Amino acid sequence: MKLVASVTTCVLVALALTIGGEAQENVLTRVAPSMLECYESAQIFERDNRLPMTMNMLIELIRKVEDTPGFQQDIRQLAISMLHRFRQDGIVRAPGVTSMSGVIPFSPTEFQFTKHRVLFSRLLPGNAVNFPNATLSIDERCALHFMLSNSIDRRVRGDENIRCSQLSQYRAARVPRELDFKDRSRLRSNYLGDNEMLEQPEMDRIREHIKKIKHKASSAARLEMDPDEDHPDDEEEHPEATVEGGDEPQEEPIAAAGEDEETGEPLEEDGALGEIGDVSLVDIASNAISACPVENGVVYTPWGSVMAGTVLAGIAAGLEPQTVQLRDLMSRSDQYRSRQVQPMRVDNRWAATLSGDLAEVSLLHAPSVANNVQVGAAGAWNRTVAPRWYFLSQREHLQMTDTEIRAGIDGLLLATNIAEWRSRANNLRLSQVLDMYYSHRGVFNDTVRSCNRRDLFTTVAPMQQLREQTVAFSTVLDKEMQMPFTISQEAIINFSDQATDALANYIPSALNDLSCEATAIVMNDPTIWRTASDLYIFIDAAWPHRDAYSVVSNILDSLDVGRFGTNYTILNARDGNVIVNSTQFLSDFHMTYTPELHQSLPNGLNIPNVFRRMREETNNVMSNERRTNNLSGRSKLALMIVHTDRVSEGDTNFAIQHLQIFREEVPDLRFLYLAAGDPGRFNRFVRDERRDVFPLRELESGSIVDTVRVQLSPVIHRIQQEPRRIVNPRCGHDWVQENWGSNSMNQFVEPRGVNFYRLHPNYFFRQGENRRFRIQGHGFATLTVCHSRWVERPRQNSTENRDSIQCRTINTDAYDIDLSNACDGHSVIHTCPPLFVSVEGPLNPPAVIRCSEPQCRFPDNARFAVVLDNMGCFSSASRTVSSLLLAAMLALVVALFKQS
């Protein structure tokens, strides 16, 4: 019986391994079948068509998967299935192979794939069988693939003469002339398929010029990219190279400012992608190496860009940690015979993060540089507003770039702590971990957060353990990786030590990421500001597409777009038509607002059309609030992004009259203007001209991103500071109240967070019995509640009108504000001040974390209720409309009389 049982067990294990091997398609030596869709279509593959490579976008896509109806995978299962479904490192284009039927000229042949295969076949096993593919569109699925898969594209693009000189740390070596390359095997293949840039005139002209030079003379075309050489005049007009097709396009030139990615400023771009003179000629059809290669798998964060696949691998390893003996990771024929190696163990948390990348440095870089091991390679984005291209500052020593270093530290930090966090919050989500870590709040405290990574490095990665794990994984990788030399175990140990020392020296001296203090929303204020708004953005299509796109992208990326925060709608400022339907997804804007769509839109601003659209939109919202008994909890803002149009006298009169209607019908609606030229021309169309009108200078080439970020900061802060709207839903858009009673809604606030609310006097103007505003605690945490009739953002430690602010702490009890006679002494609604309320979370997370419902953005959120009792509906909107109609009729009669 024992023999039968043993045989049965062996068969089952073998079967399981076979099934697992078949399911792990991302370790195949070709592009995984599920990822081919990202390479088969030029439209999908084209980088400028992809979703932005940002952490916000990655979190949004993960959250969309988690919100799939019926989705039941926990954080460990999702992390593993996502990595196996979308990550495949080392994919590069094959030299000399063009796309054709049955042939995709891409394969995982770069050095990153060996480590990838070891990790996902032995240390992070699993599959993506249960991943809900149908939840995401092909654009979203491919965005995840490109975000999570690491490789470096070294091919010469043709824009190096402009692009590479802009990198802040230009360390690239001079590229020798083609005649000097007697040993062609020394060069990395970099051939571009003929079909790649067939519709790119500038690139075609370069190719033709190269062919003519080679045909006329025996000397080869010059390949220099040395920054010391003379370059064409920067002010000279150069033809712009654009892409309409091809497998991998040249980037559309987009103006940008700044020098290094560490300060959040991207590369400057202009219309020139190369000059066809002798000096700057680039042989893009030869086996040359770009002076500033493109790194793939990178996502942008304000605290330094990271390799997203490494971060997720760290989380996955931390949720299923394994410490495996060396002999169990190596095939029998490759097991090292020395007894000194056998005690070694590989920790998958280290292998998936820092020691994995250091092993590549130890094996691929250290042997060729003697005692001068280098780690780190800085880079910069084409722009940090909707970034898609990440350029490295050097062409050599790329085994461990800055993005990999940051991701290695982040991944190891998350791997080390994730089990403890999960024990505190059983339903912890993957999106929540990333959302907390890549923000000012941190994961359950203000210590473990990405802006502190440099300070936490020595704590999370003790040098001795880092050395040991690097040696162990280097020993495994040495048996798996095909290298041009053979090294001994003693050399592996020596090289691993050198690589570890190089990293320890590099991080404090060269990894100059922005600090937590430098990126604080309000200096010296640890408060976490969250935006919850219904935002309507009207775009004047007279702006160039790239300018309008950059402005809107920056605004949306800063306002907590998502089901926990801001909902937005994009409309045309001329006809008021909807461009992007009301949505809570950033991806909808990026996939919808294309240059082609922008070109089809009418230019200019027509205030009557804008106001009519806003009245229609707000009527629908207020009717829906009555139908669903919803107190709102979101601010309501209309932002006009205007070019140089002026407003006619007739439209001015229309605007002033209808602003009065809005004030009666939708008292919480605020109009904001972001305008080129003289913004003062819109002062009469807002509630507060000092706060609601902003200048927007022309976004000139070479300074667009810096200009956008600097100019939009006041607008973003204004939107963030707008109090959340609280309404009596029984009023609806017609302000007819059919019944009285109590209404409530649940709200949430996080540790160190604060929510500000405003209730207009339209709901409590006249005297009423038992009329009150209540904040009811639910016992999740101790909350501080403040209210005022004069201070818009009342807080306990406020120095503004301190005597007019009242505060108290609550837990399971309630904070009641009596409004039975709150407008006594005021004869009209507009003279009676609103009620302003703030609810502030505790400084530290509660001991028991219990926020597990779908409405919880974070597990340590505190739930409370906003309750309205016996509110009324007081508006003179009907009288205002009647008077305006009467005035209009009188004006018409006078006009007709004059004509007669």
The 3-class SS string of 252-292 reads: CCCCECCCCHHHCCCCCECCCCCCCCCCCCCCCCCCCEEEE
Contact (Cβ atoms closer than 8 angstroms) between residue 419 and residue 320? no
Query: pLDDT tens digits, residue range 370-425?
Result: 788 999 999 999 887 889 999 999 999 999 999 999 999 999 999 999 999 999 99
Q: How confident is the model at residue 235, as a pLDDT?
A: 34
- Label residue 483 by pLDDT band (50, 70, 90): confident
Percent of the chain scored above 70 by pLDDT? 79
Domains and CATH numbers, the chain: 11-89+107-151+308-377+400-510 (no CATH), 528-726 (3.40.50.410), 740-878 (2.60.120)
> If you average pLDDT over residues 808-820, what whole number do you get?
97
pTM value? 0.84
Contact (Cβ atoms closer than 8 angstroms) between residue 91 and residue 152? no
> If you average pLDDT over residues 171-192, what whole number do you get?
32
Q: How confident is the model at residue 331, as a pLDDT?
A: 64
Residue 324 to residue 321: CA distance in whole angstroms: 10
Q: How confident is the model at residue 95, as a pLDDT?
A: 85
Q: How confident is the model at residue 332, as a pLDDT?
A: 54
List the structure tokens of 743.
């209404």
What SS3 class is residue 310?
helix
Query: Which residues neighbour 664 within 8 Å (Cβ) at sequence distance 6 or greater?
Result: 762, 875, 876, 877, 880
Task: Specify whether the backbone of 274 is left (phi greater than 0), alpha (psi in -120 to 50) or beta.
Answer: left
Query: pLDDT tens digits, residue range 672-716?
Result: 999 999 999 999 999 999 999 999 987 754 445 557 888 899 999
> If you average pLDDT over residues 149-156, what whole number do you get?
94
* Distances, alpha carbon 581 to alpha carbons 134, 325, 342, 573, 618, in Å: 22, 55, 61, 15, 15
* Distances, alpha carbon 826 to alpha carbons 79, 532, 552, 801, in Å: 59, 31, 41, 21
Residue 356 to residue 344: CA distance in whole angstroms: 15
Percent of the chain scored above 90 by pLDDT? 67
Contact (Cβ atoms closer than 8 angstroms) between residue 589 and residue 552? yes
> If you average pLDDT over residues 595-621, what whole number do you get?
96
Query: Which residues neighbour 212 within 8 Å (Cβ) at sequence distance 6 or greater?
Result: none
List the structure tokens of 802.
């301190």
Q: Are strands 693-695 and 670-675 parallel, antiparallel or unpaired?
A: parallel
- Label residue 248 by pLDDT band (50, 70, 90): very low
Residue 826 to residue 657: CA distance in whole angstroms: 23
**Predicted confidence (pLDDT) at residue 642 exceeds the cutoff of 50:** yes
- Label residue 212 by pLDDT band (50, 70, 90): low
For residue 175, list its beta bridge partners. Answer: none
**Predicted confidence (pLDDT) at residue 228 exceeds the cutoff of 60:** no
What SS3 class is residue 601?
coil
Q: Is the sign of the CA dihedral 367, 369, 371, 373 positive or negative?
A: negative
Q: How confident is the model at residue 242, as a pLDDT?
A: 32
Residue 309 to residue 883: CA distance in whole angstroms: 63
Query: pLDDT tens digits, residue range 451-482?
Result: 999 999 999 999 999 999 999 999 999 999 98
- Label residue 93 by pLDDT band (50, 70, 90): very high
Q: How confident is the model at residue 698, as a pLDDT?
A: 76
CA atoms within 13 A on the CB side of 487: 25
Contact (Cβ atoms closer than 8 angstroms) between residue 308 and residue 181? no
Nearest Cα neighbor of 112 from 348, 414, 357, 392 is 357
Q: What is the C-alpha radius of gyration for the chain, rounded to an integer number of angstroms?
A: 31
**Predicted confidence (pLDDT) at residue 742 exceeds the cutoff of 90:** yes
At which residue do the structure tokens 């994995």 appear?
A: 356
Residue 114 to residue 482: CA distance in whole angstroms: 9
Contact (Cβ atoms closer than 8 angstroms) between residue 168 and residue 260? yes
Angle at 393 between CA 389 and CA 395, to 5 degrees: 100
Nearest Cα neighbor of 789 from 827, 809, 830, 759 is 759
Does residue 25 or residue 241 have the better pLDDT? Answer: 25
Q: How confident is the model at residue 289, as a pLDDT?
A: 87
> If you average pLDDT over residues 542-571, what whole number do you get?
95
* DSSP secondary structure code for residue 461 in this structure: S
Mean pLDDT in the chain?
83
Does residue 857 or residue 161 have the better pLDDT? Answer: 857
Residue 438 to residue 450: CA distance in whole angstroms: 6
Q: How confident is the model at residue 165, as a pLDDT?
A: 77
* Distances, alpha carbon 283 to alpha carbons 191, 290, 599, 852, in Å: 10, 10, 35, 58
Query: pLDDT tens digits, residue range 663-675?
Result: 989 999 999 999 9
**Predicted confidence (pLDDT) at residue 732 exceeds the cutoff of 80:** yes
Does residue 507 or residue 899 have the better pLDDT? Answer: 507
- Label residue 786 by pLDDT band (50, 70, 90): very high
Q: How confident is the model at residue 217, as a pLDDT?
A: 41
Q: How confident is the model at residue 169, as a pLDDT?
A: 38
